[in-house]
Amino acid sequence: MSGVYKPSLKASEDTLKEKLTQCKWLITDIDGVLTDGKMNLTENGDEFKQFHVRDGIAAALLKEKGFKLGVLSAGFAKNAINKRFNAQGFDYISVDGTSKLDRFQQFLLDNHTSSDEVIYIGDDINDVEVMKRCGLAICPNDAHFSVFDHCDWRLKTKGGNGCLREIADYIYF
């Protein structure tokens, strides 16, 4: 773990390192974390998403370090999301409009995983209940202010600009 980069933390860096060693899963929201949160529409009304290539590299680095990866998102651009994250080798993909907390709790049961073993990255009020229950809660720098009190690590990176990469770089280097 990096000796150069200094994350913005609620607790100590030692606590962060301890939590990172306990976590086996990294689950992230998509809109506002892996994208800039803007809705992009074609002339026909179809939504499309833009992802930062650095997050794709980060996914490979995190997998190399033994993390299982997942996305937990609302039901927008479901086909694009499934295609992108299946291609990236994500282990869990949940995209629908139901409660994130309900889906998170079902994920824990289905994967025989403790909430303490999960890193969750979210950026808005619909992520807070999951953030309260995971082992390590992270948010982008430009997350909604209501999220800040519930996160252990506020990234320097804004949503859509390589949030996963900042985490991977901290862990990897």
In angstroms, the Cα distances linking 155 to 19, 93, 129, 141 are 16, 23, 19, 5
Residue 49 and residue 73 in contact, taking contact as beta carbons nearer than 8 Å? no
Q: Which residues make up each annotated binding site for substrate?
A: 31
Given the DSSP bridges, would you call strands 136-139 and 118-121 parallel, antiparallel or unpaired? parallel
> Residue 65 domain-assigned?
yes
Half-sphere exposure of 6 toward its Cβ, with a 13 Å CA cutoff? Answer: 1
Residue 92 lies in a domain: yes
> What's the number of domains the chain is made of?
1
Residue 3, in any domain of the structure: no
Q: pLDDT means per 10 residues in the chain (173 residues)?
A: 65 86 97 92 86 95 97 83 93 92 97 98 97 97 96 96 97 87
User: Known binding site: residues?
Assistant: 29, 31, 123
pLDDT value for 12: 82
Report the CATH number that the domain containing residue 55 is assigned in CATH. 3.40.50.1000
Instruction: Say what the pLDDT of residue 4 is.
Output: 58
Q: With CA atoms as reference, report the closest residue to 34 among 144, 131, 119, 157.
A: 157
> Could you tell me if residue 96 is inside a domain?
yes
The answer to the question of residue 1 being in a domain is: no
User: Which residue range is the domain that position 20 belongs to?
Assistant: 8-172
CA distance 108 to 151: 20
Report pLDDT for 79.
84
Q: How far is CA 72 from CA 12, 105, 169, in A?
A: 28, 12, 22
Q: Which residues are annotated as a binding site for Mg(2+)?
A: 29, 123
